[in-house]
Every structure is written in C-alpha cells, then in structure tokens.
Amino acid sequence: MLGQRVLSALVGIPLIILAVWYGGIPLLLLLSLLIILGIKEITELLTKLGLKPSFWLASAGGLILIGGAYLYSNGYPGPTITIILFLHLIATVTFYPRYSLLDGAGTLMGTLYVGLLSYVYLLRMLPDGWIWLIFMLAGTWACDTAAYFVGKGFGRRRLAPVLSPKKTLEGALGGLLGSVLVSFLFSYYIYPFLSMPKMLLLGLMVGAAAEVGDLLESAFKREAGIKDSSKLIPGHGGILDRIDSALFTAPLVYYFVVLFIIS
C-alpha cells in the first residue's frame, strides 16, 4: 500500500507542479478534469445514501464555477452561485417528482463542495500566486504526510472514533506541526519580510483546515458505508480522497492572503 502511494505521488505531484507553474489554460484544464471526476464520485456517494443526484447538472455547475473563476479572477465569482442555484431550482420544477427537492439539495451541495477547487485557480492568479499556491499545496501535503506517519508510529488516542477510527490525536498534532514547519521555512527563506507570527498562524490554520476537510470526507464515506470515494488512484483511493483537504485549505489561504497580506 505504501509503495503504491509513493508511486502515485511520484507521477501525480510533478504534473500538478507543472500546471501550477504554467497557470492559465493548463491549470484550468487540470482543475476542470479534477472537478468532473470529483463530482462523479460525490454523486455516486449520494446515490448510496438513497438520493438521485444529477451528475450532468452537477458537472455543469462545477464547470460554471471554474469558468467564473477564469472570467472573474480578481475575486470570487459570486454570480455563478446564483446561476447554479437557478439551474437546480428549474430542474426540480421540470423533473419533479423524479428529481425531488432532496435530490436537488444533494446535487447542489456536491457541486459547491467539489467546486471549492476553483479557489486553486483564484489563488494562482494573485500577485506571486504560484508561490502561494505551492505554499498551500506543500502545507496541505505536509499536514497529511506528518499526520499519517506520526499517527502510525505514535498514535494512541483516537481523534474521532465514530468518523475515522484510525485517526489519532497524536497524528493530528503531528499534522499541525508539519504545516507549521512548512510555513516557517516559507517565511524564513522565501518571504523573510513578512511577519513570522502571521505566517506561523497561517500554517497552523492550514493544518487545522486540512484535517477538518479530511474528517468531513470521512463523514461522507461513513454515512455511505464505503472506505474510499473510488479506486481511481492506486494506494490513495479516489479524487475526493486526495483533494478533500485542499478543498478547505485553498479558500483559507486565498482569503488570508487577500485580507492580511496584499490588502
């Protein structure tokens, strides 16, 4: 299992870094693909809960979100939420009772949840955005990796036994330390003119957000009675299993930079 995880990471991480470096259309295409695959997984998960979500409607909403991020790269594309909501309401009226209010609510939730990945593009479009995006990814990966190894080696007390029995308090603390370490190195070597306490706070928040995002997806899977969102990535599970933390950390870093760094 560990070997598969490492091999998948060796293939996937360079592709992600290249897309981050080039930005623009390559990053948009990568994010669009991830959003579609993530929406496929979340709609399959919702189906296991007894709902009848619309994959095509959710996919359209996801692409509207990423398209809005491209057209309104200087801020979150608020009008896209209204468009997506109207699409869901119209679909509910048109296809009722085959497509109920609960089906529409589940589809809308899945769309907006996976659509948080559009913040990756918005973050990239900020001044020095590629550096902030690398920071977000490194902090998120460091949290996940440190939590895994610290929990495996020293974990004793369960963090959330109902949601994820294997996660431990020791692992969670290790994850926070991992993201804070990335923040320290980032501040010391790349942006030494920024406030070190502010950057360490951001690192701590990134770690906390990453762990909450991971636990939220665990709640989805626990409710649906599945272990992984899919078997797409050897050793890692599905797309949602890999981006669950970034769905929380990308908006966090984006707004922190906008409000407290470049404002």
- Encode pLDDT of 141-169 as tens digits: 999 999 989 988 887 888 877 777 788 89
Backbone angles phi, psi at 191, to 5 degrees: -125, 65
d(CA 210, CA 249) in angstroms, rounded, equals 6
Is the CB of residue 147 less than 8 Å from the CB of residue 175?
A: yes
Q: What is the pTM of this model?
A: 0.90
Read off the pLDDT of residues 63-79 as tens digits, 9 standing for 90 and up.
999 999 998 867 767 78
Q: What pLDDT, on a 0 to 100 scale, did the predictor assign at position 7?
A: 47
In single-letter form, the type of residue at position 129 comes to: G
Structure tokens at 122: 């918005």
Read off the pLDDT of residues 83-115 as tens digits, 9 standing for 90 and up.
999 999 999 999 988 999 999 999 999 999 999
Structural domain boundaries in the chain = 2-260
Backbone angles phi, psi at 155, to 5 degrees: -65, 130
Long-range contacts (CB closer than 8 Å, 24 or more residues apart) made by 221-225: 221/45, 222/162, 222/163, 222/164, 223/49, 224/45, 224/46, 224/48, 224/49, 225/48
Q: What pLDDT, on a 0 to 100 scale, did the predictor assign at position 41?
A: 94
**Nearest 10 degrees: Cα torsion 30, 35, 36, 39:** 160
Q: What pLDDT, on a 0 to 100 scale, did the predictor assign at position 6?
A: 47
Read off the pLDDT of residues 225-262 as tens digits, 9 standing for 90 and up.
888 787 776 656 789 988 999 999 999 999 999 999 98
